[in-house]
A and B are shown apart, each in its own frame.
Chain A
Amino acid sequence: MFSQYFGHYLLNNGLITAHQLKHALDLQKITHVKFGVIAVDEGLLTSKQVEEIHEKQKQQDKRFGEIAVDLGFLTKEQVDLMLSSQKKKHLYLAQAVVDQNYMTIEEFTNALNEYKRIHSLSNEKFEAIKSGDIGAIVESLLHTNHPEKEGYAEYVSLFVKNIVRFIDDEVYVEASEEKNADAEWLVSQEIIGEKPLWSALAADEKVFLEIASVFAEEKLTEADELAQASVSEFLNLHNGIFLVNMSNKGTELEMKPQKVDHDSIVSVHKENSLCISINTSKGKFQLILSHSPENVIISDKRKENQTV
């Protein structure tokens, strides 16, 4: 997950293009992470030392680790340790980007450090994010974009985990400033009790059908009762797990039945709501949350258009 997240950070900061990001993300699935990238990431080697070893590798048939030991840059124990880290998923993107000459290792490392600085991350938190800790990633996203809305972090983290569990493991979340969502399909559910919460998933028909098909485990081509039931059940399942988590912490909540709206406009109260864009390989959709369900207005887009 960190690859998706950091890849978009590089894109948003103009360090790579959209085409390069897509290519790198495709490649990282099959890329074997090389020693140099791991060594720099672990702080065991500088990028200059890595270049030196690469140059030596062109001259002699030896493995990276062997040359590093020969040159006195690393000990045998460090090389063994790195071998065990070679499966670290967060480095796949780095390897893909470097292999394609989109960035040098040094540029990638600088971008990582800048990312850490901008998000005011401790070493511990940064390691958690790099290892794909969804909770840490969501917390960092909300902290940077909506510090007043960190109360939503637990819900959003669980939602992202459930997207990974049930829908798609290539997920990337972004904060959204939109307060009015134009939803071709809107599935919502209200949680009532001590801490009320209105939650909704807004998607266009294509993405709606993709989510419905994956969750139903069969290809659905029409947004009929079964497709609507499928997306509704996903939201219900997620909210049910959220209720169990809250119950385990001593807060008892209840759910109302889910609701499906077609061609609607959702307006939420700015202060008490949060809109998150969820990007998956199936497409992009919105997660809309509000702690004040009474302020959520769902209007029929067709009627709105008639009055214009």
Chain B
Amino acid sequence: MQKQLNVLICDDSALIRKKLKNILEVCKCHSIEEAEDGIVAIQKAKEMKPDLIFMDIVMPGKDGIKALEEIMNEDPALKVVMASSAGTQSHLKKALDLGAYDFIQKPITLEAVTAIIEKVIKGEKGENAHV
């Protein structure tokens, strides 16, 4: 039986959280939690120990890059996928240098999310960026 993932979505946009949740439900993820900023994401990451986190970069309060840094310090094995509309090379490099598993360009598509989930289930390394 295929492993089912626990996923945490962190995005300040209610629309993105809703759309990503719908996609993850299609992908049959087991448990889907939401966080609307970096502070809540750090807290929820500690509590639920997700298999995968989708993290927006530009957010009020604690942004995604700062949240990524703290999450990686706490648990370097966590898989965090950064999602941004500004997929510049410098953003990509910064995220991967800090230990991000992958990087996806918004708008988020079913194909991009499916590819990442399959990779996580297979236990593959996340060096391939979908920019």
Q: What is the minimal beta-carbon distance from A211 to any residue of chain B, in angstroms?
A: 12
A230 at the A/B interface (Cβ < 8 Å)? yes
User: Is B126 an interface position by the 8 A CB rule?
Assistant: no
Q: Are A252 and B88 in contact (CB under 8 A)?
A: yes
Report how far A232 CA is from B59 CA in the complex, Å: 12
Bound-state CA distance A146–B85 (Å) is 30
Q: A229-B13, A257-B60 are in contact. Are A241 and B85 (CB under 8 A)?
A: yes
- Interface pair A257/B88, CB less than 8 Å apart: no
Q: Given that A237-B107, A255-B58 are contacting pairs, would A243 and B15 also be in contact in the complex, using a CB cutoff of 8 Å?
A: no
Residues in B neighbouring A48, C-beta threshold 8 A = none
Residues of B within 8 A of A232 (CB): 13
A257 adjacent to B90 (CB under 8 Å): no
Q: Which of B1-36 contact A (CB under 8 A)?
A: 12-16, 18
Q: What chain B residues lie within 8 Å of A236 (beta carbons)?
A: 13, 58, 85, 106
The reply to whether B60 and A240 contact each other, CB–CB distance below 8 Å, is: no
Per the bound structure, the CA–CA distance linking A241 and B90 in Å amounts to 14
Tell me whether A230 and B85 are in contact (CB under 8 A): no
Known contacts A226-B14, A233-B15, A243 near B86 by CB under 8 Å: yes
- How far, in angstroms, from A226 to B13 measured CA to CA in the complex? 8
Number of contacting residues on B, CB 8 A? 18
A-B contact count (CB 8 A): 52
For A243, list chain B residues within 8 Å (CB). Answer: 85-86, 88
Find the residue from A229, A239, A240, A255 having the highest chain B CB count within 10 A.
A240
Contacts of B18 in A (CB 8 A): 226
Could you say which residues of chain A place their CB within 8 Å of the CB of B88? 243-244, 247, 252
The answer to whether residues A233 and B16 also contact, given A255-B58, A256-B58, A257-B58 and a CB cut-off of 8 A, is yes
Task: Verify if A216 is at the interface (C-beta below 8 Å from B).
Answer: yes
**Minimal beta-carbon separation of B35 from chain A (angstroms):** 15
Assess A255 versus B15: contact at CB under 8 Å? Given A237-B106, A240-B106: no
Contact A237 B15 (CB under 8 A): no
- State the interface size on chain A (CB cutoff 8 A): 22
A61 at the interface (CB under 8 A from B): no
Chain B residues with Cβ below 8 Å from A254 are 86
Partner pick for B85 among A229, A237, A256, CB 8 A cutoff = A237
User: Which of A226, A252, A257 interacts with B12 by CB under 8 Å?
Assistant: A257
State which of A230, A238, A244, A256 has its C-beta within 8 Å of the C-beta of B15. A230
Q: Which residues of chain B have a CB within 8 Å of any CB of chain A?
A: 12-16, 18, 58-60, 84-90, 106-107
Please list 6 pairs of residues, one from A and one from B, whose beta carbons are closer than 8 Å in the complex, sorted by A's number: A225-B14, A238-B85, A244-B86, A247-B90, A257-B12, A257-B60
Kindly list 18 other residue pairs between chains A and B, CB separation below 8 angstroms, not including A236-B106, A240-B106, A256-B58.
Answer: A226-B15, A229-B13, A229-B15, A230-B15, A233-B13, A236-B85, A237-B107, A238-B85, A239-B86, A240-B85, A241-B85, A243-B85, A243-B88, A244-B86, A244-B88, A247-B88, A247-B90, A257-B59
Q: A residues touching B (Cβ–Cβ < 8 Å)? A: 215-216, 225-226, 229-230, 232-233, 236-241, 243-244, 247, 252, 254-257
